[in-house]
Structure 1
Amino acid sequence: MSDIIKVIILSIVEGITEFLPISSTGHLILVNHWIEFKGEFANAFDVIIQFGAILSVVCLYFNKLNPFSKRKTIRQKRDTIKLWMKVIVAFIPAVVLGLLIGDYLDRLFNPTVVATTLFIGGIVIILLEKRRKFSRINSIQEMTFKTAFVIGLIQCLAMVPGTSRSAATIIGAMLLGANRQVAAEFSFFLAIPTMAGATAYSLMKKGIHITSDQWMLLFIGVVVSFVVALAVIAFFMRYIRRKDFKVFGYYRIILGALILAYFNFMS
């Protein structure tokens, strides 16, 4: 299998899984294992192609995220600035913890850890949905800075592969009183600095070793993940207006069990 085909496959997986509560990192680790796309560049690729997913959020929510839009009133501009302030507050824990222990997490990037966290996360999602209470936060404007910071703390759980950054932030926001749509949107917005930071960090560590051919592979990966993520976000927001997250919980449990069985009994 050529590197271009491998890159396209991985980018499609990234675009599909990044904003769903099923762990993009976990899926990429597993797909990398099966298509044998490994090494220093492969590790950097898995992080850098998230930039395409970031662009999809910016594209879809540009007006909501742009505090300088001429179409907005002064109050709406202030609300947008407050939104960004809440995102930054929520981003701080990941920055601090990432700088402290980021280099020690590589040992967790293996199928067994991914399968275990997928399984546990699936159970948590199902239990949460069965015990859902009335949502008291029905817009990001109603979310306090304290709530945003706690969501940021919960996001740090996603440093363990298979947990899912999206699942951690969405579940965390819902546990703190946000409705599904608010939880999902804040998760999308928090992904912008989080994933941009991870991409920049990876480039600083690996950029000088990337060849011209590898830059082309990265470009293809970013474009593909951008296009796929655009469609997935639109689908996801329509989906959660009518249905809950249980299907993602069951998916995680089944996938986690299959991975554990495969790598422990069949490989």
Structure 2
Amino acid sequence: MDMWIAVVIGIVEGLTEFLPVSSTGHMILAGHLIGFTGDKADTFEIVIQLGAILAVAVLYWRRVLRLFGIQDKASRLQPGPKLNLLHILIGILPAGLIGFALHKYVKLLFMPETVLIGLVVGGLFMIVAEKQRGTQTAEKMDQITYRQSFFIGVAQVLSLWPGFSRSGATIAGGMLAGTSRAAGADFTFLMAIPLMVAASAYDFYKSIDSFSSNDIGFFVTGFIVSFIVALVAVATFIKLVSRLSLTYFSYYRFILAAVMLVFVLAGKLS
């Protein structure tokens, strides 16, 4: 396979995985545009998602260690409650259980037409969250309660529909439950590590037959590109999310859906 495909899809994944615009939706649309579809493409998307996950683990390594009770001196001196593993478990459980139970049905939604619906509906959900957000009680991630973790986890179930966006659903869900955008984004990124590792491992196991040793260079290229681009994207998004309304991302989603609808109607994405 041409390495440029690995680079293009790797960039798409790295840029969009942790933005509220749906990386899965973007990869499905991009794959259809360049003719990269089928079992091989599905397996490749799983591998490069792990690159984006690794980027988050690198950026959040101190927070990951704190979840397991390993704290540096500065962390030990910080007063007040701390986010723990139970928060993470509560947050990932709803989508994890439903995604596992309905895995084969969710996969039926992985097509351009359903992605466009997800982009629009997810964008509307984020606008609602901006306008109807609850009283803010968690400005920082460590202030998130178990109830808010569960609410975010329930919102995350919506992201099983490709195009809806996992980060968009969880950040918006957190805002409706009373978290700040920044706290919701931090929790979303941290929660992504175990959830996406588990989901990717399961998907990879189901798709292992489509993988061969001849694809190693292709897959490694996509993995590295996704990792590097995700490092930059996550670091940038964290700085922007506290002051940039989700509504702007919704407008982008609507424009993308409208543009891609033209291709769908023209049969270019079939």
TM-score (norm 1): 0.91
* Matching residue of 1:199: 200
- The reply on whether 1:152 has 2:153 as its aligned counterpart is yes
| Aligned AA (2:263) | Y
* Matching residue of 1:44: 43
* Matching residue of 1:8: 7
CA contact (8 A) 1:52 1:222 kept: yes
Q: Whole-Å Cα distance in 2 between the matches of residues 113 and 85 of structure 1?
A: 34
Question: Which is worse superposed, 251-260 or 61-70?
Answer: 61-70
CA deviation string 1:221-260 (max 9, x = no partner): 1111111011111111111233222210100111112222
* Matching residue of 1:60: 59
Aligned pairs (5 A) from 1:210-249: 210-249=211-250
Q: Whole-Å Cα distance in 1 between the matches of residues 75 and 148 of structure 2?
A: 26
| Aligned AA (1:8) | V
CA contact (8 A) 2:52 2:227 kept: yes
Aligned-residue offset at 1:148: 0.9
CA deviation string 1:16-68 (max 9, x = no partner): 00000000000000011011112212111112211111111111111122122
Closer, same or farther in 2 for the Cα pair 1:147/1:195, shift >3 Å?
same
* Matching residue of 1:174: 175
Closer, same or farther in 2 for the Cα pair 1:73/1:230, shift >3 Å?
closer
Q: Whole-Å Cα distance in 2 between the matches of residues 193 and 258 of structure 1?
A: 34
* Matching residue of 2:89: 88
Secondary structure of the 2:242 match is helix
* Matching residue of 2:98: 97
| Aligned AA (1:260) | L
Q: Whole-Å Cα distance in 2 between the matches of residues 259 and 52 of structure 1?
A: 27
CA deviation string 1:134-179 (max 9, x = no partner): 4111122222222212211211111111001111111111110000
TM-score (norm 2): 0.90
Q: Whole-Å Cα distance in 2 between the matches of residues 205 and 132 of structure 1?
A: 39
CA contact (8 A) 1:119 1:253 kept: yes
* Matching residue of 1:187: 188
Aligned-residue offset at 1:133: 5.1
Q: Whole-Å Cα distance in 2 between the matches of residues 75 and 88 of structure 1?
A: 26
* Matching residue of 1:163: 164
Q: Whole-Å Cα distance in 2 between the matches of residues 125 and 161 of structure 1?
A: 16
Closer, same or farther in 2 for the Cα pair 1:73/1:38, shift >3 Å?
closer
Closer, same or farther in 2 for the Cα pair 1:224/1:161, shift >3 Å?
same
Unaligned runs of 5+ in 2: none
- The reply on whether 1:22 has 2:21 as its aligned counterpart is yes
CA contact (8 A) 1:83 1:140 kept: no
| Aligned AA (1:110) | M
Closer, same or farther in 2 for the Cα pair 1:134/1:217, shift >3 Å?
same
Aligned-residue offset at 1:208: 4.8
Q: Whole-Å Cα distance in 2 between the matches of residues 106 and 71 of structure 1?
A: 46
| Aligned AA (2:176) | L
RMSD after superposition: 2.1
Secondary structure of the 1:21 match is coil
CA deviation string 1:175-202 (max 9, x = no partner): 1000010010111011111110111112
Closer, same or farther in 2 for the Cα pair 1:73/1:21, shift >3 Å?
closer
| Aligned AA (1:123) | L
Closer, same or farther in 2 for the Cα pair 1:151/1:42, shift >3 Å?
same
